């Protein structure tokens, strides 16, 4: 369990993280979302003691990172995939990390197998592709078999196969009961991976909810209706006080509509329906809705000091 308590980070005039508090639950993938510059990387660095908070604290299973004996056994992280000495082989990079945390050497071979790098283990990592570098970073994160794993933008620059592999890996790590905390600015990817969301803007907490609740709370669902008798249907709907907006594809959209009520109304009037489908907004639409409601988070808005 990761707990963030009133975490604040100031870089001179910039308030990068502002009294942030949240917990990252176990057994699910938690997505960490926020516009560019929201403070995600700074928060993650402070979680790993790579940056010192101005105030507040992060605890991992109740302890500060620097109190963890052999930290790779508690928390594994992929922050900067290319943060590996280019002249070192994949095997030696992992061996060095394993030895520094008293992890058995046999585990190096095991994680190389888990990420599919066994065949290139003796090659220098400087010649690795981006995808191989990501896999090596993930192998390092898994080395200590930690209960908590953090990934900062793990699918950046990966091909579809690599993206699918990382998505499935994160889900299976969570299913094993681990805490999986992942940042990404790719909403469609996050929607497919995360069960829970922590959303920040300008260093502040905006939401800490399940994916489903976040979408429901920040967007309107609608019902898509298609009929060969559009005029009769529009008439019936407006008579029932339901407003429907025409869609360029010839159908209608009823915002916050109840499909059963629309279906019953059409049946009562003898109107044929060729489509009656409830639609849900995407995570991207919900995210845009949430951030656009506040002037502070709108693209192009000047950051307000202390905001
Ligand atoms: N070392 C630093 N010195 C000064 N300012 C910094 C430093 N690191 C981050 N910042 C500032 O802190 C704020 C938060 O940055 P951070 O990189 O944490 O955001 P982010 O949410 O990870 O953004 P992105 O999605 O663009 O990576 C930004 O205004 C950034 O310019």
Give pLDDT tens digits for 190-210.
999 999 999 998 899 999 999
Task: Report the number of secondary-structure helices (H) and strands (E) in the chain.
Answer: 10, 13
**CA-nearest residue, atom 10 of ligand 1:** 16
From residue 41, alpha-carbon distances to 33, 180, 203 in Å are 11, 16, 11
**CA-nearest residue, atom 1 of ligand 1:** 11
Q: Which atom of ligand 1 is nearest to the CA of 185?
A: 25
201 lines ligand 1 (CB under 6 A): no
Residue 189: how many CB atoms within 10 A of its CB?
A: 19
Mean pLDDT of the chain: 88
Poorest-confidence range of 80-89, 180-189, 259-268, 294-303?
294-303
37 lines ligand 1 (CB under 6 A): yes
- If pLDDT is split at 50, 70 and 90, which confidence band does 232 have? very high
Q: What is the mean pLDDT of the segment spanning 216-228?
A: 88
| Span from the CA of 37 to the centroid of ligand 1 (angstroms) | 5
14 lines ligand 1 (CB under 6 A): yes
**What is this model's ipTM?**
0.95
The pLDDT of residue 87 is above 90 = no
Q: What is the mean pLDDT of the segment spanning 260-265?
A: 94
pTM: 0.83
Give pLDDT, residue 297: 54
Q: What percent of the chain clears pLDDT 90, i.e. is strictly above it?
A: 57
From residue 73, alpha-carbon distances to 28, 65, 100 in Å are 19, 11, 11
Give pLDDT, residue 303: 47
Q: Residue 261: CB partners within 8 Å, gap ≥ 6?
A: 240, 242
């Amino acid at each position: 369990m990761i707990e963030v308590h009133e975490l604040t980070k100031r870089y001179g005039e910039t308030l990068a993280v502002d009294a942030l508090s949240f917990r990252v639950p176990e057994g699910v993938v938690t997505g960490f979302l926020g516009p560019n510059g929201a403070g995600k990387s700074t928060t993650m660095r402070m979680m790993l003691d790579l940056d010192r908070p101005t105030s507040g604290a992060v605890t991992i299973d109740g302890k500060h990172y620097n109190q963890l004996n052999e930290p790779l056994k508690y928390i594994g992280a992929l922050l900067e995939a290319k943060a590996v000495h280019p002249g070192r082989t994949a095997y030696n990079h992992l061996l060095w990390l394993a030895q520094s945390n008293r992890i058995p050497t046999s585990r190096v071979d095991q994680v190389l197998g888990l990420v599919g790098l066994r065949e290139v283990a003796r090659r220098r990592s400087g010649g690795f592709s981006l995808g191989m570098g990501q896999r090596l970073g993930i192998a390092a994160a898994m080395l200590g078999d930690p209960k908590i794993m953090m990934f900062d933008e793990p699918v950046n620059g990966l091909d579809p196969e690599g993206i699918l592999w990382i998505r499935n890996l994160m889900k299976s790590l969570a299913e094993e009961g681990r805490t999986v905390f992942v940042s990404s600015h790719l909403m469609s990817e996050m929607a497919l991976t995360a069960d829970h969301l922590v959303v920040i803007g300008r260093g502040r907490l905006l939401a800490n909810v399940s994916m489903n609740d976040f979408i429901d709370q920040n967007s309107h669902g609608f019902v898509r209706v298609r009929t060969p008798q559009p005029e009769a249907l529009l008439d019936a709907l407006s008579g029932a006080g339901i407003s429907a907006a025409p869609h360029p594809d010839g159908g209608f959209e009823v915002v916050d509509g109840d499909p059963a009520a629309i279906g019953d109304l059409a049946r009562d009037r003898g109107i044929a329906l060729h489509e009656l489908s409830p639609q849900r907004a995407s995570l991207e639409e919900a995210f845009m809705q949430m951030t656009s409601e506040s002037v502070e988070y709108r693209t192009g808005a000047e950051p307000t000091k202390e905001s």
